Amino acid sequence: MKDESWVWIFPGQGSQEPRMGEFFWNHPDLQSLKKSLLEVAPPALDEFRQKGPETVLSTNLHSSLCIYITSILAARYLNNCGLSPSVTLGFSVGQDATLVAAGALDCSAGLKLLVERAHLMDRESAKESQGMLAVMGLPVKTVQTILDEITREDGRVYISNFNASQRFTVAGLLPDLNLAADLFQKARALRIQSVATTGAWHSPFMQGARADFEKHLAPIMFERPIIPVLSNVTGKPFEWDHLKNDLSLQLDSPVLWHQSIQWCLDQGYRHFIEVGHGNLLSKMLSFIDRKAIVVNATSVTKT
């Protein structure tokens, strides 16, 4: 593969599964980097990645870190193949890895930040029974009208991810999500699926986490990247002066994934590499532009 204008996209939660990322975790050229990351990770992370149980692997902390480390190793693998990104963007927890890949953040510091992020999000989600729901096949206006209706009934459900045209994730309290599912069904949604998360991520339910995350971000040193790194909060490249603000806002703001991909397409980018495990983002991207070329990092070889 020739190093041209490739957008590197980094997956978030939902892509984890036992033995994820084996290609990168076992690659002989990546053992030193893996060791340095595991030294600052919680104990037995690699054992959980390999053997599960899925109940542990799917916790916010373990899934975040396994996804992150897989992406960091994949990015190094691509570097070793002679590639570097023209643009980076990551979905939710994937956003930290984008900053590392763009040279803005040290990979160990990124991992420590994710540990704090997961603890804070889990603390907020433990306060109430929260969850998320994916809905497909309804226009945003219809989805929002339904959520407004729930709000009028004193419920609280919010759009938490703009994934693609007519594809959203909503977050809220479980009883309110059940009501939302009924209303989406009545509106003839094509698919409604619960999302395997333990909290109402990227919604106002995470406001408490955001406030404390700001304190953890304050002492972190970021290098100014020389390539565009897209913000989940704006769907556009981070403005340097707003970087830390956007990173904390991301916890209780929707992920503007569709808008981010559209920004890349509007700039003329058509080639994407999914830097991490699986192909969830590749499939999601095909809902936005079926002509875009998307490959996984495992398919890249040294030239």
Q: Does 186 bind another protein (CB under 8 A)?
A: no
Hey, what are 180's tokens?
């939302």
Q: Does 134 bind another protein (CB under 8 A)?
A: yes
What values do phi and psi take at 226, rounded to 5? -95, -5
Longest dimension (CA), the chain: 60
Q: Does 196 bind another protein (CB under 8 A)?
A: no
Q: Does 189 bind another protein (CB under 8 A)?
A: yes
Q: Does 140 bind another protein (CB under 8 A)?
A: no
Interface pick for another protein out of 190, 196, 211, 293 (rule CB under 8 A):
190
Nearest C-alpha neighbor of 85 from the set 222, 294, 275 = 275
The CA-CA-CA angle for residues 132, 181, 162, to 5°, reads 50
Cβ partners under 8 Å of residue 28, min gap 6: none
Q: How far apart are CA 163 and CA 62, in angstroms?
A: 23
Q: Does 194 bind another protein (CB under 8 A)?
A: no
In whole angstroms, how close is the CB of 298 to another protein at the nearest point? 19
Interface pick for another protein out of 136, 227, 265, 292 (rule CB under 8 A):
136
Q: Are 230 and 236 spatial neighbours (Cβ–Cβ below 8 Å)?
A: yes
Helix axis angle, 174-186 to 140-152, nearest 10°: 130
In whole angstroms, how close is the CB of 41 to another protein at the nearest point? 29
* From 118-126, 189-197, 220-228, 237-245, span contacting another protein (CB under 8 A): 189-197
Nearest C-alpha neighbor of 274 from the set 14, 49, 51, 39 = 14
Q: Does 292 bind another protein (CB under 8 A)?
A: no
In whole angstroms, how close is the CB of 247 to another protein at the nearest point? 29
Interface pick for another protein out of 58, 178, 267, 286 (rule CB under 8 A):
286
In whole angstroms, how close is the CB of 63 to another protein at the nearest point? 18
Q: Does 290 bind another protein (CB under 8 A)?
A: yes
Give 2 or 188: the residue with its C-beta nearer to another protein: 188
Give 25 or 168: the residue with its C-beta nearer to another protein: 168
* Amino acid of residue 266: D
Q: Does 58 bind another protein (CB under 8 A)?
A: no
Size of the site for another protein (CB under 8 A): 16
In whole angstroms, how close is the CB of 165 to another protein at the nearest point? 5
Tokens 């030294």 sit at which residue?
Answer: 39
Cβ partners under 8 Å of residue 63, min gap 6: 13, 16, 57, 93
* From 93-101, 159-167, 220-228, 292-300, span contacting another protein (CB under 8 A): 159-167
Q: Does 280 bind another protein (CB under 8 A)?
A: yes
3-class secondary-structure state, position 242? helix
CA distances 242 to 8, 11, 140, 232, Å, are 22, 23, 28, 13
Residue 3 CA to chain centroid, in angstroms?
Answer: 25
Q: Which residues bind another protein (CB under 8 A)?
A: 134, 136-137, 165-167, 188-191, 193, 280, 283, 286-287, 290
